[in-house]
Structures are given as C-alpha cells and as structure tokens.
Structure 1
C-alpha cells in the first residue's frame, strides 16, 4: 500500500493513469505524446507505477504495451472505504471497466497477481488436472505440448468439456499459451480467444500475468473480468494456504 499511495501522490503519475484510463494498452511513445517531459522521465514514472502494480506491461513484438491494473485501487477501496460502509465509488468501477476495454488488436484483459510460491508450483497448479479440479471446478486435461488439444472438463463425472482449445506455446515453468473456444468450434482456431499465462519470479514470490485476448464482445470481456478474478483468487489461496477459499467465488452473489 505504501508504494501505491506514493505513486498516486504525484500529479504526473496520476495523469499517466488517466491516459491509460482513456485508452488502455499504450506504448511509451504514445504516452510521451501527451506528457510534456522527456521519455526518460516518463519511463521513470511508469517504473514506479509498475512497481506499485498500478500498471502492467505486455510485450507485443518490439512494442511494450502499458495497461492500467485496477487491483490495488480495489484493495484501497476494500480497506479504507468498504469497512466504513460507504457506497462504492463509481469512479473505481469505471476504472476497472476501462481497464478491461481494449482495441481488437490488443490484449483485451490483463490481470496481474502475486503469489507466495514458486514458478514450478504455479505452473503445476495451472496444468495438473487434479489441482485445477480443486480450485477451478474443472479439470484442465492435456499433455501440454505445443500443438496438443486441451480441455476444461467438468468434475461431476459427466466428462463434458465446457472449453476446448489448442496449446500454442508451452515453456515450463514460465509461459503457457492456449486458445479457448466452445467444443463445437474446436476446429475453428481463428474464432477462439487466446489466454497467455506468464509466470515470473519476483524476489521470493511469483508474479503471474494472465492475458485474455480476442474476446468477441462486451459480454465476454465482463465474463473474463469476473471469472479470472475469482479463479486466480482461489488459486492463490490454494498455493499459499494449502486449501481453496471456503466458498467458490463464482457462486457467491455480488453486492
């Protein structure tokens, strides 16, 4: 929280967050066009925002795209606002919605979380069928080799897969890329969305970045936002405490 408040205390850094709120997924050059200072100075401000987890980055070829990450803002809300039973600030909801909006040629949803674990354990939690069943309510089944099929199979014994796709990138324990689609669309890879898991050491913990792109419409973006927040919270609890959350987050009514 100290890093978040320090980052928000500077007017320039607040302006950079405003620019990303207006248009998410900008390059350094695009941000510099709107800030009257040198690239080096803007880079330093962005580094502080990234250290505070207010900005996350995704590389796309030679470009480095910057995304507003609303998670620390919501933690401030939960700690300093909700406990006093004040109404939720609409502006925070607007920031979150804007963070999930992106152009069709850029990642649609980016979520960053930090987990007290190792890259190997995080990888296994994403790919081991029994572990995914414990916190996701589905078994992720595949041999996880590039080009292989994977399936998101219900745990009720029916054998029904609600999501299927192809493993397009697999570099244990740092990076996993899969396409996602309905079972009937399995052969139509072009119509699938794509999910990338980047798993990186961050000191003694792990930084997990989930990028979900090529979503079809606003409804899918909203589903991705709520779905990933719930699943990754459950994953974090399992790895850090040895058990998932006492209630499945996606089954608890909001509000």
Structure 2
C-alpha cells in the first residue's frame, strides 16, 4: 500500500492515471502527447505506477499498451473511506473481476494500414453513409455523437441492419470507438464486441489502426481477420484512386 500512496503523491503520475481513465490501452507515445515531459521521464513515472500495480501493460506487436488498474484505489476506498458500505463494494468488485476475466479470455484482432489521404477524409470514409456504401456494401448510419446508436445497414434497399451498436467515443478526426452486436443481440452486453479506429497523420499519409476486441471466440476472430483487411483495402482504394477495387475483395475465394 505504501507504493500506491507514493505513486499517487506525484501530480504527473496522477495526470497519467487520468489519461488512462479517459482511454485505457495507450502507448507511451500517446501518453506523452499531452504531458510536457521527455519520453524518458514519462517512462520512469510509468515504472512507479506499474510497481504500485496501478498500471498494467500488454504487448501488441512492437507496441506496449498501458492499462489502468483501479483495484489498489478501490482497496484504499474500502479500507479508509467506505467502511460502512462494504457489502455494496464487494458486489461491485465481484462484477468488475468477472468483467475483467471475461475480457481477458476474449480474442482481439488488430490491423494497421497506411493511406495517402488526410485524417478528415479517412474519418468521413468511416462515418459517411454514402461513402461507406461505396466500398463496404453497407451504410454506417449515425449522428456519431458519443452515446448515440449506430447501424450497419445493407445497401440493397431492404433497410436491414446487419450490425448495431453505440458510439463510445467520437473525436473527429483521430479516434472513433463503437460497440458491435447482431440486431437480435442488442441490449445483451455480454454479446457486444468493440471496435477502435485510431487515425494518425504521418507527413503526407495516414496511419489507420483498427482494433476489434472482445470477440466472442476464435470463429469471430477468423471472421474479423478476413473481413477487416478486405474492407480496409477497398477503403484505401477509394480514397487513393477515387473508386473501390474492381471486385469486392471479401468475395475473392481464399485457399
């Protein structure tokens, strides 16, 4: 517990925890963006937070992602602040542990592509109903405000949505987070997966990272592994050439 109090005593470390509270799963570079400090200094602060078990890390390829671990903070609250509310906190703690265990067991798919375009155009290609219809075979329909509902609607005129969800975060033109579920599973929180679009400018090109997490099983992972590269290749072609690929890539047979 002493390590936790030591970690919390520093303003920079508290700000790092605030950033992870806003968006868990950030790289060192992302955490440094709003901290007026060298990468080496931020790394040292993160090491203190890790030693206190307030931050946990996961490797994703060459990247190291940092996640907020609120358990030590809850232990402080239970021990010194909410002694008279222990039953309620035990229930919340059990729910949290169960949710974390479930999330840990679910597979994640990550895909990165580079597009000769601008972040604004990439954002519009992901959110504009007419543009998504041009390369995806579906229209993504929403007002794209945080908390709003969105639908993945067929372009055959039927009005049928093959996926629905909620806009979790909407930060045009750099970050979009949505939940995904089949229409008949709407409202069943354990059925939702989550898609994160990170859009970053690099000179004259854009780095688009798509992370599809909380997939139900290896079958959904296989679907994501074949589906996302096909869709994003079509998006890339549309933005760079003005038209999608001559053949829908998800219809190309694989061997």
Aligned equivalent of 2:209: 209
Aligned equivalent of 2:130: 130
Tell me how many residue pairs correspond in the alignment.
168
For residues 66 and 220 of structure 2, the distance between their equivalents in structure 1, rounded to whole angstroms, comes to: 22
Ranges of 4+ aligned residues in structure 1 off by more than 4 Å: none
For normalisation by structure 2, the TM-score amounts to 0.61
Decide which moves more: 105-114 or 120-129. Answer: 105-114
RMSD: 2.5
* Gap regions ≥5 residues in structure 2: 1-24, 29-39, 44-59, 70-102
* Residue 185 (1) aligns with residue 185 (2): yes
How far is the alpha carbon of 1:60 from its aligned partner?
4.0
Contact 1:138/1:152 (8 A) holds in 2: yes
SS state at 2:153 partner: strand
Q: Deviations over 1:158-186 (max 9, x none)?
A: 00000000001100000000000010111
For normalisation by structure 1, the TM-score amounts to 0.61
For residues 186 and 56 of structure 1, the distance between their equivalents in structure 2, rounded to whole angstroms, comes to: 35
Structure having the higher Rg: 2
Contact 2:146/2:169 (8 A) holds in 1: yes
* Gap regions ≥5 residues in structure 1: 1-24, 29-39, 44-53, 64-102
For residues 159 and 242 of structure 1, the distance between their equivalents in structure 2, rounded to whole angstroms, comes to: 26
Q: How does 1:43-192 map to 2 (within 5 A)?
A: 55=61, 57=63, 59-61=65-67, 104=104, 108-192=108-192
For residues 146 and 64 of structure 2, the distance between their equivalents in structure 1, rounded to whole angstroms, comes to: 21
